[in-house]
Amino acid sequence: MSRSTGSVGVVIVAAGQGTRLGAAQPKAFVRLAGSTLLEHAVTRALGAADTAHVVVVAPASHLVEAGALVSAHPRSGDVTVVGGGAERTASVAAGLAALRDDVDVVLVHDAARCLAPASLFDRLVEAVREGADAVVPGLPVADTIKVVDATGAVVGTPDRSTLRAVQTPQAFRRSVLVAAHASGADATDDAGLVERVGGRVLVIDGDDLAFKVTTAADLERADRILGP
Is 78 contained in some domain? yes
Mean pLDDT of the chain: 93
Domain of residue 76 covers 7-226
90, 84 in Cβ contact below 8 A?
yes
β-partners of residue 96 are none
Residue 184 has what pLDDT?
84
Residue 163 lies in a domain: yes
Q: Which amino acid is at 57?
A: V
Helix intervals (H) in the chain = 37-47, 63-71, 88-98, 118-129, 174-182, 190-196, 216-226
β-pair partners for 80: 55
With CA atoms as reference, report the closest residue to 99 among 158, 18, 11: 11
How many structural domains does the chain have? 1
In a domain, 2, yes or no: no
Is-contact 149 54, C-beta < 8 A? no
Whether the bond into 169 is cis, omega within 30 of 0? yes
What pTM did the predictor assign? 0.94
Q: Would you say residue 1 lies in a domain?
A: no
| pLDDT the model gives residue 166 | 97
- Helix, strand, or coil here: 26? coil
The CATH number given to whatever domain includes residue 80 is 3.90.550.10
Residue 36 domain-assigned (yes or no)? yes
Give the model confidence (pLDDT) of 70-85 as tens digits: 999 999 999 999 999 8
